[in-house]
Structure 1
């Protein structure tokens, strides 16, 4: 069920760059019981009770502003492509309105990063008429991710045909490998596990670092218990390795973590065997 969208979070300053979270939708379509079905009910209830971690899931994209360019990270749910029903029952996308309210003109976007190819991260790559939504942008995607999802897997065919093929036909798609630097402050880092080519986006400038984590984390429970991967991960063990690596690095640097499905960002600090987010100054 779609819920009232919470207030848009405050932008995060990273040196000369500004990271703007842009919430598209919120709802209870993926409660913890569905995210972590491998955990016994009593164990899940106990873990959730530790921090009162029951909150609706959000779908968020991000804008990185400054440095002479506008970068978008993930394009959320998308609309009713050619009149078809939306991709995520229970959520109605309003992301193009959210972009407009943030003062972002689709024609002025320079780069679109897709952290991976799940439907709630690529939806507004294209309009309802299947044209590139950001016609002047380069769309960046991991080559390994493209090869995995474009390899004839039937259940992903619609998303590829609607959200990737039009961009590719327009000559706007760039497939990247390994660590890919966009500019002096922004780079893409492989963080596989959730999907084979899953990326995170690191912003480092003026002595500060932030990471947009895509689906490295789906629920706050995974901050305090980073070994726990969700049912949505292709390779749960590898996802946990990537999660530990990114969060440990941020904790070492007092860096900021943002993710698609978390309602807040914060500075990463260690707490026991896990991590917690603290409000950033």
Structure 2
């Protein structure tokens, strides 16, 4: 992928939603440039996108170009201060110009949401892709050190073992060197076996296997006082995939499995009160899935 660098400064406070008594914060890193959607979801052509008028104006431009963003989610639950995925990161050497050598105020925004790095207890990594692990580490005196020194970092065993045996190109090796190996070397990474029914980290906090994009991909389900939210990771990149579940990402490891996972997940969410929080959905980011004829739509839930 070749995209122009995007260091567009963000303005305004972080968005948030309530799930029972829990406040879930979206911690923004950077909006992704328009070329991202064209590369990432190549079958989501302008003609396809413009068929779904509900995608405008929030999720697509009037010319059919998708909008996407990079952000984390942060919340406190069961006495744990939790961050889900850590974005692209600052000052990192990346092949994609839009991700290369970023200089964002992500840590300031995380702190403003009430989660200074030293206070975080748990970092959940839905998968080990460049734009989900970047803030695992930060540069300190020329060395990559854990951004969250008190936290346990968690991913699935299937995910870590897959990449351990994968024939990586140099850019991916670089990403592991600066964003994964330092937390392993510090003894902070826990790899967990995730059964088909999911794994409860705490009452109301469940990791759900959603394989296909990567073999060990997980989504995060949060439940509290009768309310439920699901953080998608990359099993759904963009709301256009609700109308067209067959549209996959160009970087899906197993496209057929990714589509099957997406269809099963959407069927389980449709008509429920589950708040879906997309890990790359641009604002308003959150919504509920409804069936509309032969496809699904996302009914936006505006953030606070």
TM-score, normalized by the shorter chain, greater than 0.5: yes
TM-score (normalised: structure 2) = 0.83
> Within 5 Å, which residues of 2 pair with 1:185-196?
185-196=204-215
Tell me the CA shift for residue 280 of structure 1.
3.4
Name which of structure 1's ranges 215-224 and 192-201 shifts more when overlaid on structure 2. Answer: 215-224
Q: Which runs of 5+ in 2 are unaligned?
A: none
Give distance in 1, aligned partners of 2:94 and 2:215: 25
Q: 2: distance between equivalents of 1:141 and 1:36? A: 25
State the match for 1:36 in structure 2.
Answer: 41
Compare 147-156 and 194-203 and name the one that shifted more: 147-156
**Does 2:154 align with 1:140?**
yes
Name the CA distance, whole Å, in 2 between partners of 1:105 and 1:8: 15
Question: What is the match of residue 159 of structure 1?
Answer: 175
Match among 166, 170, 181 for residue 186 of structure 2: 170
> For residues 6 and 217 of structure 1, do their structure 2 counterparts lie closer, same or farther at Cα, with a shift above 3 Å needed?
farther
Residues 149 and 160, structure 1, Cα contact 8 Å, conserved in 2: no
Higher mean C-alpha deviation, range 201-210 or range 271-280:
271-280
Matching residue of 1:90: 98
212-221 vs 26-35, which deviates more?
Answer: 26-35
- Return the alpha-carbon distance in structure 1 between the equivalents of residues 148 and 83 of structure 2: 10
C-alpha distance in 2 between matches for 1:27 and 1:180: 32
TM-score (norm 1): 0.90
Alpha-carbon distance in structure 2 between the residues aligned to 1:95 and 1:27: 14
Question: d(CA) in 1 for partners of 2:36 and 2:137?
Answer: 28
1:14 equivalent in alignment to 2:19: yes
Moved over 4 A (4+): 6-9
Query: Cα 1:192–1:30, aligned 2, differ >3 Å: closer, same or farther?
Result: farther
The aligned residue for residue 266 of structure 2 is 247
In the alignment, the residues of structure 2 paired with residue 95 and residue 255 of structure 1 have an alpha-carbon distance, to the nearest angstrom, of: 27
**C-alpha deviation, 1:6, in angstroms:** 6.5
Unaligned runs of 5+ in 1: none
14-23 vs 104-113, greater mean Cα deviation:
14-23
